[in-house]
Amino acid sequence: MTVRVMPHITTLLLGSVLLLWGTACGLTEPATPVATPAIGLNRTRVPLGGPLEITYRFTPAVAGLGSIDDYRVFIHFVADDGELMFTDDHDPPVRTSTWEVGQDVSWDRRTIIPVYPYIGEVTVAVGLYSPSTGDRLPLAGEHIGQRAYDVASLTMAPQSESGFLMFEEGWHAMESMPENRAREWQWTTAQASIAFRNPQADSLLHLEIDGRPEAFESPQVLTLMVGGTMMGTIEVSSPQPTYHTLEIPATSFGDTEMVVLTLNVDPTFIPAEVTDGGNSDTRELGIQVFYAFLEPK
């Protein structure tokens, strides 16, 4: 029996990397700020393994940042003892070399709080850096050292017992891309089951999934069942992974200690058949599941 929480479209850097926040705090920032950063969080208390929606906003004070080398955004999640726990560095959707003075650049992004051995307050720090040199730009805001800026805080909370999902029957082995080992998924067969402890409360099921819509004349359909009751259906028609949140009332879980969620996929396919032998994979495949998480509301 395997207990797993699968990561989403972010690259998480985990480990005991200590930042010199303490010695750097209080340093003055002599350079002129090139932009003002801000972020908004959809919630400030997140269970381990849970999703966090982040809205980023930068207001440039200088046009065309990095005409040769566009800058990346770094976001650091730092424990109260100064330990860097994980990151979600990424390229902004609008290249920094095209930013214009006074015109806000904003975007939304989802990250997954990893199952990290820490519970408590977290400082969220943001900055801009060159991917080729590592140089960071001065920004306006609460500078906490090394050109990182405190923009928010949150609490990492314990994961509820019901959040530990056990992938039981109907799953193929874990897979990942060679160039991105953190981006993992599992294929279902026509029917796959996930077991978890009964939360005995109204809950939210989070799923990130993908299929192969190009292999069919009509979209695949995922049907979610608890016992004999249908919780909902999802049409798998996008060429890109899609994220879904499903509300499940407490009454649907019944009074048993453990609950089994069944994922039924129709139709399925065999890669070797739909590619006329171009792919040697003879497995029956349903959909890819990148992320699954259950939390009480």
**Is the pLDDT assigned to residue 12 strictly greater than 50?**
no
Confidence at 30, pLDDT banded by 50, 70, 90 = low
**pLDDT tens-digit readout, 180-204:** 777 899 999 999 999 999 999 999 9
Lowest mean pLDDT across 3-17, 115-129, 141-155, 277-291: 3-17
Per-residue pLDDT averaged across 114-123, rounded? Answer: 96
Phi, psi of 53 (to 5 degrees): -95, 130
Does an H or E element contain 24, and which? Answer: helix 21-24
- What is the DSSP track for 142-202? EE-STT-EEEEEEEEEPPPGGG-EEE-SSBPPPEEETTEEEEEEEEB-SEEEEEEE---S-
Distance, CA of 11 to CA of 184 (rounded, Å): 11
- For the residues 145-170, what does the mean pLDDT come to? 95
Residue type, 267: P
Confidence of residue 29 (pLDDT cuts 50, 70, 90): low
149-157/120-129 β-pairing: antiparallel
Rounded to an integer, what is the distance from CA 69 to the centroid of its chain? 27
157 and 46 Cβ atoms separated by less than 8 Å? yes
SS3 26: coil
Q: Is pLDDT at 23 greater than 90 in this prediction?
A: no
Q: Percent of the chain beyond pLDDT 90?
A: 80
Domains and CATH numbers, the chain: 10-157 (2.70.50.60), 161-296 (2.60.120.260)
What does pLDDT average to over the chain? Answer: 89
Q: Check pLDDT > 50 for residue 103.
A: yes
- The pLDDT tens digits for 52-79 are 999 999 999 999 998 778 999 999 999 9
Measured distance CA(148)–CA(8) in Å, rounded: 25
What length is written for the chain?
297
